[in-house]
């Protein structure tokens, strides 16, 4: 079976004692016998079944396999690559890594003593809740790798309405995953998982490339004059922002797609600004290259107003939590007004997120907010649906 899934017929060895480790496995179906041979005698150490991890110890401590594993019945397994496990270990606290290494050394010593005496090992106890969560996470991570390699990811684009121009002029690009077996996987689940690992880099690169290509095609198809102010934005992860010359890589994608400066924005969450020097440098380079920068989820993160004026951004995205409350909470309404006034005074524009009613749109227009985003404007749409969105009549409220 291609990708992370592997099938083993009954009687087939998954690995043998003494082999160099290259992967661990999650057993999806079937039964596996783990055994060792001592003095010509076979000693069964354990039987493993669906939901169990197999072969992880040798991968963790990078030592030869201490036992053999053979499929007792036909098996299906999800492969966990060595680099996946090593990346998780590197992210762990150094004390935890040291304790784990010591534990594995003692385990190998104990295993040798047990093998010499011919005593079978007891089945290990585990926290079933944590065990199941970890196994599901490993499976999803392996399947996300397959999704990246097999082009299962897609992009959708949520329209952003320009109140000054009375039309849609921008789009936020969002990554989607329609799993061939599981169906729709929530971005809250798979993006969070990708951000825990280096998988966010190929996911982010895919989003950059497809967004530039989609925007370029949309501009080419738009009526004369309507394409002038059209732009798109894409979210940036912490790992992407740490890539040397990341802004230059974005500019290369723009150039390949034929996009002019000002057409593309990077959305950077407030939490990333905690690494102020790095993010400030990235924003400054973006401005030099004609790449816009939007501060995302503004007001919910780690705003440092004393340094806000030094950042080179051109857009602030007002978090939807403010929009939901502003008509029912006078204090929230005043805070929204103050944010719009402050951002405007800094020479930037505000995009209000989560706009769902005409009343919300009317209030935001009355206080000088220029851009609206939310279900009132339109839900995230596939690339082939965007031309129809652009032809839709303007808002009335």
Instruction: Kindly report, residue by residue over 252-263, the tens digit of the pLDDT.
Output: 999 999 999 999
DSSP state of 381: B
List of E strands, 148-245 = 153-162, 167-179, 183-185, 231-235
Three-state secondary-structure class, residue 99 = helix
Q: Across-strand partners of 381?
A: 157
Lookup: tokens for 272:
């990333």
> Which pLDDT score, from 0 to 100, does residue 264 have?
95
On the question of pLDDT at 369 being above 70, the answer is yes
Beta strand ranges found along 31-164 (DSSP E): 32-38, 41-48, 53-54, 68-71, 75-81, 153-162
Q: Is pLDDT above 90 for 130?
A: no
Q: How far is CA 153 from CA 174, 191, 213, 225, 379, in A?
A: 10, 12, 15, 33, 18
**301 or 65, which is more confident?**
65
- Which has more confidence, 151 or 159? 159
pLDDT band of 118, cuts 50, 70, 90: low
Query: Which residue has 């009613």 as its token pair?
Result: 357
Helix (H/G/I), strand (E/B), else coil: 229: coil
Strands 68-71 and 153-162: unpaired
Residues 6+ apart with CB under 8 A from 54: 14, 24, 25, 26, 27, 32, 34, 48, 69, 77
Please name the fold of domain 151-391: TIM Barrel (3.20.20)
pLDDT of 74 above 90: yes
Pairing of strands 75-81, 167-179: unpaired
- Residue 269's pLDDT band (boundaries 50, 70, 90)? confident
Q: In 3-state terms, the chain is what percent helix, strand and coil (to 5)?
A: 45, 25, 30
pLDDT surpassing 50 at residue 1: no
| Long-range residue pairs from 221-230, CB within 8 A, at least 24 positions apart, any chain | 221/387, 222/387, 222/390, 226/167, 226/390, 229/162, 229/165, 229/169, 230/169, 230/170, 230/263
H/E stretch holding 352 reads strand 349-352
The mean pLDDT value of the chain amounts to 87
- What are the domain boundaries of the chain? 5-126, 151-391
Mean per-residue pLDDT, 35-42: 84
pLDDT digits (tens, 9 = 90+) for 276-315: 888 899 999 999 999 999 999 887 766 667 778 888 999 9
DSSP state of 261: T
**Helix (H) or strand (E) run with residue 316 in it:** strand 315-318
Tell which wins on pLDDT, 30 or 94: 30
- Return d(Cα 14, Cα 25) in angstroms, integer: 10
User: pLDDT class for 2, splitting at 50, 70, 90?
Assistant: very low
Give SS3 for 290. coil
| Alpha carbons 153 and 178: distance in angstroms, whole number | 7
pLDDT band at 129 (very low <50, low <70, confident <90, very high): low
Q: What is the pTM of this model?
A: 0.77
The architecture in CATH of the region 5-126 reads Sandwich (2.60)
Question: What is the pLDDT averaged over residues 222-226?
Answer: 62
Q: What is the rounded average pLDDT of the residues 360-366?
A: 97
Q: Which pLDDT score, from 0 to 100, does residue 120 have?
A: 54
Per the CB < 8 A criterion, the answer to whether 302 and 271 are in contact is: yes
Task: Band the pLDDT of 198: cuts 50, 70, 90.
Answer: confident
CA distance 325 to 360: 10
Which residues, 6 or more positions from 355, have their beta carbon under 8 angstroms from its beta carbon? 323, 361, 364, 372, 373, 374, 375, 376, 377
Task: Give CA–CA dist 319/310, Å, rounded.
Answer: 21
Which is it for the CA torsion 77, 78, 83, 89, positive or negative?
A: negative
| pLDDT attached to residue 173 | 98
Report the alpha-carbon angle 339-341-347, nearest 5.
105
User: What is the reported pLDDT for 125?
Assistant: 47
């Amino acid at each position: 079976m291609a990708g992370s899934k592997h099938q083993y017929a009954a009687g087939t060895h998954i690995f043998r004692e003494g082999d160099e480790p290259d992967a661990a496995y999650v057993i999806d179906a079937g039964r596996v016998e783990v055994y060792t041979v001592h003095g010509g005698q076979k000693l069964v150490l354990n039987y493993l079944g669906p939901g169990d991890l197999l072969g992880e110890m040798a991968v963790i401590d990078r030592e030869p396999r201490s036992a053999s594993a053979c499929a007792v019945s036909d098996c299906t397994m999800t492969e966990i690559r060595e680099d996946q496990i090593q990346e998780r270990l590197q992210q762990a606290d150094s004390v935890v890594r040291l304790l784990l290494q010591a534990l594995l050394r003692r385990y190998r010593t104990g295993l040798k003593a047990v093998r010499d005496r011919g005593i079978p090992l007891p089945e290990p106890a585990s926290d079933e809740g944590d065990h199941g969560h970890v196994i599901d996470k490993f499976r999803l991570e392996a399947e996300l790798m397959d999704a990246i390699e097999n082009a299962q990811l897609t992009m959708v684009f949520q329209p952003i309405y320009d109140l000054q121009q009375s039309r849609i002029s921008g789009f936020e690009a969002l990554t989607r995953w329609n799993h061939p077996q599981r169906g729709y996987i929530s971005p809250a689940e798979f993006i969070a998982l990708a951000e825990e690992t280096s998988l966010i880099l190929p996911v982010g690169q895919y989003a950059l490339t497809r967004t530039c290509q989609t925007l370029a095609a949309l501009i080419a198809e738009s009526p004369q004059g309507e394409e002038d102010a059209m732009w798109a934005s894409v979210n940036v992860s912490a790992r992407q922002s740490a890539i040397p010359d990341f802004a230059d890589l974005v500019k290369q994608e723009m150039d390949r797609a034929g996009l002019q400066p000002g057409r593309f924005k990077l959305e950077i969450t407030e939490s990333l600004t905690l690494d102020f020097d790095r993010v400030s440098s990235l924003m400054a380079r973006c401005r030099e290259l004609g790449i816009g920068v939007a501060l995302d989820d503004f007001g919910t993160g780690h705003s440092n107003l004393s340094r806000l004026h030094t950042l080179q951004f051109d857009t602030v995205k007002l978090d939807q939590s403010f929009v939901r409350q502003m008509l029912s909470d006078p204090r929230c309404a005043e805070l929204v007004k103050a944010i719009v006034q402050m951002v405007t005074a800094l020479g930037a524009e505000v995009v209000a997120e989560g706009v769902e009613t005409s009343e919300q749109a009317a209030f935001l227009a009355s206080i000088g907010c220029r851009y609206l985003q939310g279900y009132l404007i339109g839900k995230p749409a596939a690339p082939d649906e965007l031309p129809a969105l652009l032809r839709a009549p303007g808002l009335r409220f």
